[in-house]
Structure 1
Amino acid sequence: MEKVKAYASEPGVVIFSKSTCYLCCTVTFLFQQLGVATSVHEIDRDPDYREIEKALVKLGCSTTEPAVFIGGKLVGSTNEVMSRHLNGSLLPLVRPYQAQS
């Protein structure tokens, strides 16, 4: 649980992902297109994989991958991220983390 809290509290956009999950790739790609650098933690490559999944569920994730945190706060999974993107509420959350051009 402490490992998950430490990762999730990193500044910016943090994504808990699985290396073989197409939805995880889609969410990561969305943030790339928005010019936002992400910190991606592929939990299936971590020896504490099962404990990380359990910790994410305890933090309120309905599905454990992708689990997206912005500024240390849980945003949710693919459905929540895409819904926010479509209704315009995602961009204000990520604006502080967008690359300056």
Structure 2
Amino acid sequence: MADAKTKAQSIIDENAVAVFSKSYCPYCSASKRLLDGLGAKYKLVELDEVPDGSAIQAALLEISGQRTVPNIFIGKKHIGGNSDLQAKSGELKGLLTEVGAL
């Protein structure tokens, strides 16, 4: 668990935008579409496609208080899930520019 937490935290720390997702999740797809539509550069981790995905997901609960996906971080700050990201769509471009993801 400690390894997964360290891994998750370094992904968050080393990327302007980090999206923890599952490939089959419709909410995750909506978030990725929004970010792609803006041309954002982001680190994507498909938790169902990596061997330690469930451990990383458990670690994200400790880090962010959120277990569900998508679990999104911008500028090392926890944004939340898809509905949180969609709610920020008006300010998203500025936020992404600020962290160097556009």
Same-fold status (TM-score > 0.5): yes
Which position in structure 2 is the counterpart of 1:21? 25
Question: 1:66-98: CA deviations, max 9, x gaps?
Answer: 11111222111111101111xx23222112321
Could you tell me the percent identity over the aligned residues? 30
Which position in structure 2 is the counterpart of 1:93? 95
Q: TM-score when scaled to structure 1?
A: 0.85
Which one of 17, 34, 39 corresponds to residue 38 of structure 2?
A: 34
Residue 84 of structure 2 corresponds to residue 77 of structure 1? no
Asked whether the 8 Å contact 1:16–1:66 carries over to 2, the reply is yes
Asked whether the 8 Å contact 1:18–1:65 carries over to 2, the reply is yes
Which position in structure 2 is the counterpart of 1:45? 49
Which position in structure 2 is the counterpart of 1:3? 7
In structure 2, the gaps of 5 or more residues are none
Question: 1:26-62: CA deviations, max 9, x gaps?
Answer: 1011011111122110011122122111111111243
In structure 1, the gaps of 5 or more residues are none
